[in-house]
Structure 1
């Protein structure tokens, strides 16, 4: 791996140089182990600790198949799917790998006693398999996390509808929290040259997810002038939703949980911000009973901020804790667009507020290649910015996942792969200087 990282850090290696590099037999990767899937049995979910289940292992380099690429990972990032994988909720991911492994002899590579996690990366292409023509060794890339086969007609209108659609590094093996990663070539996109490796790695999953959820016709099809209620607006997903709303001429109504997060939203340009902790909203009276009075109280607060208007779109991702409120708060004829369920997947809402007010609930999941490409294009052009707050070495991925699990973070938490330190990988210094304040706004000061 030293030869690989030295070539990348030199900044002047050619395609031929990369193609001539000797690949190692193994690489370091963050894994969970099949024989530990029961380690948290009997524990409350809140007590399950990713630091106990995530391992830094040396694993063999996987065989490269047709249409695939082997990428040297300079940096990756933590997403909530890594948290789920690490605590084996709502089910352990080895069931995904087993199912995938039954599909074909090539897919069988993924069914292993360990699972290399991670659904983001920024790095350099080292090898491409048969049939790959767009990408070459030495290309600096990021990867989106949609893995598809496209042998069924169902996926050819929207690849997210492919029956064999999977999330790389969650439902497949050889993910990005590692020194090397195996991806399909149609997951690759250009790295933004004005960003460092850790900055470029962080937006992939969340920016693409937010783009489909808000902007795409497959989601809410947001338009200029829309009021968009965004839960967790300074978090990994919400911070990109906030930026996309602002860039698209909409008005984000940001819901966050601390004064510091209020200030982050204001720094992004949002004016309507609600600190739900300070206002002490309690949407549930107990574990089984929701409190509509609190929905109405928040509705009044939203109308104070918008000049009397309700949200056209509610950007949903917490799930159980907020979903009843989301359905209530959307305007008549409005849209609740949902992905993920970080507070629980079983949602309850009063259907009278849906059917009698002609509202819609739209489910979205990640993004197709076109949507991911458009979302990445906004990053490359400096229209949307990364939200990295803190970066950890690969050996401390467990701590990084624990912080995300406990909601102690803001924006995205990065993880270095082969990059020996932060701040490397910038090629376009002029564009970076133009947007330096926006790029660094989520950064936590050293020791903070």
Structure 2
């Protein structure tokens, strides 16, 4: 029996250890010869033109790493950046990493296996791995840190050599197999299917750090939290965290369908920006952002009675000036990304004179990820998974995210040949409730609609 077949059959540690590791495996990847595909193109950079699914060679395992048979993964916006080679080609990241020498050299290849989420089974463990064994079911934290740096004893995300796994490293999670450091591993919630669990770490952990962690916005009971993109992957978890923490969730979304999803998640107030023209390209005109902020602020006060204590922003260029204006006096804007552009301009008077804070946040450290997974174990959080694609259709899945036509998290089945596998605690699943766990699946898009 092949290793892949053994994993699919649910074989035990002894059988997995006895099966031969394949010399190559199926993976969604980029090729260095496509690096100039979109050069000079100002219009649509369709990710389906550069994302390939095919065989790549199996890497050698470092002593502090595990080899994981990936049962499911999911799409994050960094895969869009990678596949469009914007703002930089990720092959540059791999080349820079490879120049460190040693085991890092494996990552500098003429292909780049993408993906910053994975749920799967450990099938090999390096000689330096202590706390994990072949057969363990795990998730992977997208933050790959240098765990021998002093700074990580305070916070893993302070590592000078911290890399985004599957974006700044090779051999990511959109594949049949992946490699990860033991310091990235999170126990998989036993009541979740593989594809549900794979939707958690990159977005769930990021939202937790942004809102709940003492390194983020330090949300407290009663806080009004404005969430841009409240029906997206990050936003879906942010809404749940706000409601669990006794806060008031105000969601901004881009369509009536997304508004319904945000309400289903528990948003106290949902604002459809299509109806009010918020969040256009205001970044080069701070006065326009202020004008939009005034209108949005009135809607928020009319709806919940107060200005936001916290603004949750991962959109960037098109919303950041509004976010800075909207946060109340002494409030906080917490940001983890810029899907509409990195260069932000805003009217600084509303920051300094009103004593606001801007907090930068990136993924989550391992303890924050484990704390997030525990909330799923308890049933306090549920998966944001909506659409689901086979690995062979990774291009279509990524295109859905590129066009912002998705809701929640877009999942990808890898070695799992159908949804619903991987549940090892059906009693807990029954207690939490199938309807609750699959709440977001009602908003699945089976394919990419016309742009």
Q: Do residues 37 (structure 1) and 30 (structure 2) align?
A: no
CA distance in 2, matches of 1:286, 1:190: 41
Return the offset for 1:418.
0.5
CA distance in 1, matches of 2:177, 2:25: 7
CA distance in 2, matches of 1:418, 1:400: 17
Return the offset for 1:430.
2.3
Shift in alpha-carbon separation, 1:297–1:283, aligned structure 2, 3 A: farther
Give the aligned partner of residue 7 of structure 1: 6
Q: Do residues 416 (structure 1) and 429 (structure 2) align?
A: no
Give the aligned partner of residue 115 of structure 2: 118
CA distance in 2, matches of 1:446, 1:47: 21
Give the aligned partner of residue 326 of structure 1: 323
Return the offset for 1:445.
5.8
- The answer to whether the 8 A contact 2:2-2:19 is kept is yes
Map 1:166-315 to 2 at 5 A: 166-281=163-278, 283-284=280-281, 288=285, 290-291=287-288, 292-307=290-305, 309-315=306-312
Describe the SS at the equivalent of 1:392. Answer: strand
Describe the SS at the equivalent of 1:137. Answer: coil
Return the offset for 1:397.
0.3
Please point out which of 419, 424, 429 is paired with 2:426.
429
- The answer to whether the 8 A contact 1:233-1:265 is kept is yes
Give the aligned partner of residue 50 of structure 1: 47
- The answer to whether the 8 A contact 2:143-2:365 is kept is yes
Shift in alpha-carbon separation, 1:177–1:282, aligned structure 2, 3 A: closer
**CA deviation vs aligned residue, 1:367-393 (integer Å, no higher than 9, x gap):** 111111111111222211111111111
Shift in alpha-carbon separation, 1:151–1:136, aligned structure 2, 3 A: closer
Describe the SS at the equivalent of 1:151. Answer: coil
Describe the SS at the equivalent of 2:102. Answer: coil
CA distance in 2, matches of 1:183, 1:222: 31
Q: Do residues 23 (structure 1) and 21 (structure 2) align?
A: yes
CA RMSD of aligned residues (A): 1.6
**CA deviation vs aligned residue, 1:240-295 (integer Å, no higher than 9, x gap):** 11111111111111111111111111111222111111223365569656512221
Q: Do residues 129 (structure 1) and 109 (structure 2) align?
A: no
TM-score normalised per structure 1: 0.96
CA distance in 2, matches of 1:373, 1:125: 18
Describe the SS at the equivalent of 1:438. Answer: helix
Structure 2, unmatched stretches of 5+, are none
CA distance in 2, matches of 1:241, 1:429: 27
TM-score normalised per structure 2: 0.95
Structure 1, unmatched stretches of 5+, are none
Return the offset for 1:432.
1.9
CA distance in 2, matches of 1:198, 1:270: 25
CA distance in 2, matches of 1:323, 1:445: 29
Shift in alpha-carbon separation, 1:9–1:177, aligned structure 2, 3 A: same
Greater mean deviation of Cα atoms: 176-185 or 195-204: 195-204
Shift in alpha-carbon separation, 1:356–1:397, aligned structure 2, 3 A: same
Where in structure 1 do 4 or more consecutive aligned residues deviate above 3 Å? 282-290, 444-448
Describe the SS at the equivalent of 1:378. Answer: helix
CA distance in 1, matches of 2:119, 2:284: 41
Q: Across the two proteins, how many residue pairs are aligned to each other?
A: 444
Return the offset for 1:7.
2.3
- The answer to whether the 8 A contact 1:31-1:117 is kept is yes
CA distance in 2, matches of 1:176, 1:55: 14
CA distance in 1, matches of 2:361, 2:292: 27
CA distance in 1, matches of 2:59, 2:20: 15
Please point out which of 83, 86, 89 is paired with 2:83.
86
CA distance in 2, matches of 1:295, 1:132: 51
